[in-house]
Amino acid sequence: MSVIRVENLVTKFGSTLIHDRISFEVGSGEIFGILGGSGSGKSTLLRTLLFLNPITEGEIFIFDERVSMLSLPRQEMLLRRCGVLFQFGALFSSMSVLENVGVLLKEYSNYSQNMIDENSKMWLSLVGLSPKVCSLYPYELSGGMKKRVALARALSLSPEILFLDEPTSGLDPASSEKFDELILKLRELLGITIVMVTHDLDSVKDCMDRFIVLEKQKIAFNGSLASTNEATYLGELFSNKRGKRIWNEM
């Protein structure tokens, strides 16, 4: 069953064409990658899937709901079922780790503060952080820890789909690898569908079931790593070592 279905999607900003009739599906429980060069429209695609950009043309179905037909309240309800870690999504610097993780629960649940804190601690433990970090502030954390805190926050409303925009960019190779292991663990434990924009070929190797490559406004590739033999340009790219990024954006 597919949880996301994109049909002939066109995205334009003014007269600039970003996506030209692209179509793809994401299956339930899949770890699905969105790859492509800098400026190829990866983040824009994620934002469009989350109703943050208007759909110029075409259709998006999420959980079988035709997104363009939904009223605002229905869109809100659908968004609650999605967790997001944006590319430059920062933690609130004036809030502790515990407060950062609990910020969505505070806004969208009717939990008591105590329940919010207990929930937040549970998510922190799930992403591999010790309770000791609860009282720390973002400036006291390493890059890898910040990403995990942001991930705990993205998970805090128990989403069915988790969207991640370049979650390992800026991390050292060892931290990136640990992050990928965590993504696999989350899928196993939560049965969650994960849509991940990445530049990191090792992320593709480590944890992706399937991915698309955006190029020249179109989908240049759609498939699994096992089926990339035919795509020689990808074959070349996949011989890279961790730490080297495709299309060297970072």
Ligand X SMILES: Nc1ncnc2c1ncn2[C@@H]1O[C@H](COP(=O)(O)OP(=O)(O)O)[C@@H](O)[C@H]1O
Residues that bind ligand X (CB under 6 A): 13, 18, 36, 38-44
Of 43 and 168, nearer to ligand X (C-beta) is 43
Kindly state the smallest distance separating residue 172's Cβ from ligand X, in Å.
Answer: 22
Of 145 and 164, nearer to ligand X (C-beta) is 164
In the 3-class helix/strand/coil scheme, how is the chain assigned residue by residue? Answer: CEEEEEEEEEEEECCEEEEEEEEEEEECCCEEEEEECCCCCHHHHHHHHCCCCCCCEEEEEECCEEHHHCCHHHHHHHHCCEEEECCCCCCCCCCCHHHHHHHHHHHHCCCCHHHHHHHHHHHHHHCCCCHHHHHCCHHHCCHHHHHHHHHHHHHCCCCCEEEEECCCCCCCHHHHHHHHHHHHHHHHHHCCEEEEECCEHHHHHHHCCEEEEEECCEEEEEECHHHHHHCHHHHHHCCCCCCCEHHHCC
Contact residues for Mg ion (CB under 5 A)?
A: 42-43, 87
Kindly state the smallest distance separating residue 131's Cβ from ligand X, in Å.
Answer: 35
Of 178 and 244, nearer to ligand X (C-beta) is 244
What residue is closest to Mg ion based on CB?
43
| Partner in contact with 40, chosen from ligand X, Mg ion, none, beta carbon below 5 to 8 Å by kind | ligand X
Of 90 and 122, nearer to ligand X (C-beta) is 90
| Partner in contact with 187, chosen from ligand X, Mg ion, none, beta carbon below 5 to 8 Å by kind | none
Kindly state the smallest distance separating residue 61's Cβ from ligand X, in Å.
Answer: 21
| Partner in contact with 204, chosen from Mg ion, ligand X, none, beta carbon below 5 to 8 Å by kind | none
Kindly state the smallest distance separating residue 40's Cβ from ligand X, in Å.
Answer: 4
Kindly state the smallest distance separating residue 152's Cβ from ligand X, in Å.
Answer: 24
CB 6 within 8 A of CB 23: yes
Of 41 and 102, nearer to ligand X (C-beta) is 41
